[in-house]
């Protein structure tokens, strides 16, 4: 005869691999969530400030032409992102979620720092827009491989009866990142004079995003691999066929 828990369809914890202890689980959840936050923060801050930095980085006959060049570079991340999701995300099943998530947040942090630290077109010429293009490719690859792996990472670390809740943290992080990016853009545009904002003030939110990505990288380096993947060896070698 079925118990009351089975009757309402609740999962049996014995059917799932052992999850992390609570202190370690908290570290793992923060490590899994912070990448989503950094990803969407970097994504939105570029769009919000493109009109400010476009004239500094992208050459053009008019401010409109510079803005179009900045937005086309922004669009490269959208093109790369689904390709990365298809190609890179499956590697997390083979090499481990933590490894792929560590690489993805590294790409986000490096991309944000490149954008924040790249000198203007007047200083280094066409190297400036090329570096922005490289940064957007890195961010597109990182974002495409982040979403699926991070959700799987958090769900596999969660208790059997809290998997939906823990998996929802990623959407919460993306919403908070939208608010943070909007707030950061509003703060720099109101705190700096127009000339200072166009010259260097716009860089502050990108550098902050890069620093936050480094913090996330440290947390992910300390995180554990998910229980389901710890049960089997992860190797880059193909499994040998039995003799």
CATH number for the domain spanning 163: value is 1.20.1250.20
Is 27 among the domain residues?
Answer: no
Greater confidence (230 vs 134) lies with 134
79 located within any domain: yes
pLDDT value of position 210: 95
Whether the per-residue pLDDT at 116 is higher than 60: the answer is yes
* 238: in domain: no
Among 48-52, 86-90, 183-187, 223-227, the minimum mean pLDDT is found in 223-227
In a domain, 58, yes or no: yes
The pLDDT assigned to 230 comes to 61
pLDDT at 239: 46
Residue 229's pLDDT is: 65
Taking residues 124-149, what's their average pLDDT?
91
- Residue 203 scores a pLDDT above 90: yes
Assigned domain for 22 exists? no
Contact 146, 35 (CB under 8 A): yes
The CA distance from 115 to 131, in Å, is: 8
pLDDT above 80 for 80: yes
3 occurs within a structural domain:
no
> Per mean pLDDT, which range of 6-15, 84-93, 153-162, 222-231 is the poorest?
6-15
For residue 240, is it within any domain?
no
Structurally, how many domains does the chain consist of?
1
What is the domain range of residue 93? 35-224
* Contacts (Cβ under 8 Å, ≥6 apart) of 170: 32, 33, 36, 147, 150, 151, 154
| Residue 10 in domain | no
Confidence band of 25 (pLDDT split at 50, 70, 90):
low
What pTM was computed for the model? 0.80
């Amino acid at each position: 005869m079925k118990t009351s828990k089975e009757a309402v369809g609740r999962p049996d914890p014995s059917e799932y691999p052992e999850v992390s202890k609570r202190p370690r689980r908290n570290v793992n959840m923060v490590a899994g969530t912070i990448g989503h936050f950094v990803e969407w923060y970097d994504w939105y801050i570029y769009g919000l400030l493109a009109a400010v930095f476009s004239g500094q980085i992208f050459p053009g006959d008019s401010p409109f032409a510079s803005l179009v060049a900045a937005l086309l570079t922004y669009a490269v991340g959208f093109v790369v992102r689904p390709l990365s999701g298809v190609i890179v995300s499956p590697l997390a099943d083979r090499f481990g979620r933590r490894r792929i998530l560590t690489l993805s947040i590294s790409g986000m942090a490096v991309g944000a720092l490149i954008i924040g630290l790249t000198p203007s077109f007047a200083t280094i010429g066409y190297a400036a827009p090329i570096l922005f293009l490289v940064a957007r490719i890195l961010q597109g690859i990182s974002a495409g491989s982040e979403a699926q792996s991070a959700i799987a990472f958090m769900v596999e670390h969660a208790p059997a009866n809290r998997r939906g809740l823990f998996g929802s943290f990623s959407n919460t992080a993306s919403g908070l990142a939208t608010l943070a990016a909007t707030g950061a853009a509003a703060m720099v545009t109101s705190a700096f004079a127009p000339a200072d904002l166009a010259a260097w003030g716009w860089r502050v939110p990108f550098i902050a995003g890069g620093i936050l990505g480094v913090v996330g990288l440290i947390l992910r380096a300390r995180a554990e691999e998910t229980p389901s993947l710890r049960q089997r060896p992860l190797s880059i070698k193909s499994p040998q066929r039995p003799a």
